[in-house]
């Protein structure tokens, strides 16, 4: 039972990562100016007396994760086929290319490799490093 739970959790993580990668490459609209979304306090909203659960959707998600998952195939390809991946190593480049090609093969669009500019680091003091979030441009 523990293996199925781990298998399902890993499937969910991979699906979430794929959705994040797909969402990041959506073209930006050039005609409208971005407006800040209205800030809504979730605690001031009226809560329903009962929560409606879509049990059929939960079952479909569970079925997909437990019966149609490729997580072990993907994990084996990365761990056994490519092996350890240190920053800047040839195996990291192989893993990045494999991930890009696999995401494209399963239907994601605009899969590409590259250096992320989401985080900036500094090492003004030797031996001390920090990370900070860079706002998207």
Three-state helix/strand/coil letters over 82-128: HCCCCCCCHHHHHHHHHHHHHHHHCCCCCCCCCCCCCEEEEEEECCE
CA–CA separation, 25 vs 44, rounded Å? 34
Residue 24: its pLDDT value, please?
A: 55
Q: Is the dihedral of CA 3, 80, 90, 95 positive or negative?
A: negative
pTM of the model: 0.44
Rounded Cα distance between 96 and 84, Å, is 12
Q: In the prediction, which pLDDT does 72 show?
A: 92
**Alpha carbon of 30 to those of 2, 27, 33, 34: distances in Å?**
49, 9, 8, 10
In a domain, 38, yes or no: no
Within a domain: 34: no
Is residue 97 a part of any domain in this protein?
yes
In a domain, 96, yes or no: yes
Q: How far apart are CA 45 and CA 120, in angstroms?
A: 37
Whose CA is closest to 93, among 75, 113, 119?
Answer: 113
pLDDT at 64 (0 to 100) = 92
Residue recorded with tokens 């959707």: 57
99 falls within a domain: yes
Evaluate whether residue 48 is within a structural domain: no
Residue 105 placed within a domain: yes
pLDDT per 10-residue tile (average), the chain, 137 residues: 63 64 58 70 80 92 92 92 90 91 88 64 50 56
User: Cα(first)–Cα(last) distance of the chain, in Å?
Assistant: 45
Give the structural domain span for 95: 85-112
Q: Does the residue 107 lie in any domain?
A: yes
Residues in the chain: 137
Q: How many domains in the chain?
A: 1
pLDDT of amino acid 47: 78
């Amino acid at each position: 039972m523990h293996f199925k739970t781990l298998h399902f959790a890993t499937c969910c993580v991979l699906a979430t990562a794929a959705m994040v990668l797909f969402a990041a490459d959506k073209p930006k609209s050039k005609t409208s100016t971005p407006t800040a979304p209205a800030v809504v306090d979730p605690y001031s909203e009226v809560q329903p007396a009962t929560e409606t659960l879509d049990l059929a959707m939960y079952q479909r998600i569970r079925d997909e994760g437990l019966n149609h998952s490729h997580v072990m195939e993907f994990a084996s390809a990365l761990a056994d086929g490519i092996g350890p991946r240190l920053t800047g190593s040839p195996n990291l480049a192989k893993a990045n290319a494999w991930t890009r090609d696999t995401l494209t093969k399963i239907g994601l669009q605009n899969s590409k490799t590259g250096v992320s500019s989401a985080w900036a680091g500094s090492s003004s003091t030797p031996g001390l490093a920090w990370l900070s979030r860079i706002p998207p441009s």
